Structure 1
């Protein structure tokens, strides 16, 4: 029996699967479901404060803050959304991630301590859109909160090359993505300047 174009096409059709699409049946209510909040070191407070405001408006839902370290890869994903990760270079010994994790957690504690908003923090690895999607599924989040890319040298180039995290998330999972603007364009300034 040969492997002609028809057999190959049928094999391809059988190998593909239908991806669940956004729909009213897949809507996760805000009340009672956590929000996943993407954070980065030294990120403006506005992202966390916006998420805390939404948490209070939704009845005090838990915030699952997450930082995704793109210099590490996922070894194992756990059912609670956390991961075991490792250095991309097996010969490198870089434990700076421990300090980065502590800095982010300390910053969140200073910002949200005493606010009454329940929260936790996960240190993730790999592709940000994939890692945040896995966490959102694991905790049954109602939405994902992200900030726009911080301004600065190379920010626009990085966005062109890497793409917008908010756009990537909106294409790879069904939860709403709340985008917190961290810098805006002054529309009163002529474009030709």
Structure 2
């Protein structure tokens, strides 16, 4: 099924990334199943920028880094595709894979508008000081989406910090 096949159906948009725990896809699939709507699994290549996109879901993107090869058509990561298909096939939930490029929040928001998504589902970033600091300084995709578009954003916690434990960017106790 291509991206155009789900256009205007009000499905669930889920952001997927290589190495992401299955919890994000699992929650998005559960929501799509509960609401009886299709699921769009979108991966955003942040190393490339969007040149154009077509109604069939094809995305043309070029790398920001001039040393990277200039293959124009963005391709969905084959390992990520296999992971998603293993999880979703046989569950009776219609789904498509969509490759995007550029800023994740902007790209996801644009796709959500195009497909008239009911919800956007994202996961938190990896745990640990490095991932948390990157999210703190760059801002999370979920926060950007919540402030820059109108539909509900569901953030799936991937590795929550226990209540009494300090968050990685907080000052250690004196």
Whether TM exceeds 0.5 here: the answer is yes
Answer whether contact 1:80 1:139 (CA < 8 A) is retained: no
1:181 to 127, 134, 157: 157
Distance in structure 2 (CA, Å) of the matches to 1:105 and 1:127: 21
Distance in structure 1 (CA, Å) of the matches to 2:28 and 2:94: 11
- 1:14 is aligned to none
Answer whether contact 1:81 1:136 (CA < 8 A) is retained: no
2:33 pairs with 1:43: no
- 1:55 is aligned to 32
Distance 1:33 1:158, change over 3 A: same
2:112 pairs with 1:112: no
Distance in structure 1 (CA, Å) of the matches to 2:117 and 2:86: 24
2:103 pairs with 1:127: yes
For each residue in 1:41-65, what CA deviation from the matched residue of structure 2 results, as whole angstroms up to 9, or x when unmatched? 0100000010111011102x11111
Answer whether contact 1:74 1:126 (CA < 8 A) is retained: yes
2:40 pairs with 1:68: no
Distance 1:136 1:81, change over 3 A: farther
Report how many aligned residue pairs link the two structures: 159
- 1:147 is aligned to 123
Partner SS, residue 142 of structure 2: helix
Partner SS, residue 154 of structure 1: helix
Distance in structure 2 (CA, Å) of the matches to 1:144 and 1:158: 22
TM-score normalised according to structure 1 size: 0.75
Q: After alignment, is 81-90 or 180-189 more displaced?
A: 81-90
2:64 pairs with 1:88: yes
Unaligned runs of 5+ in 1: 1-31
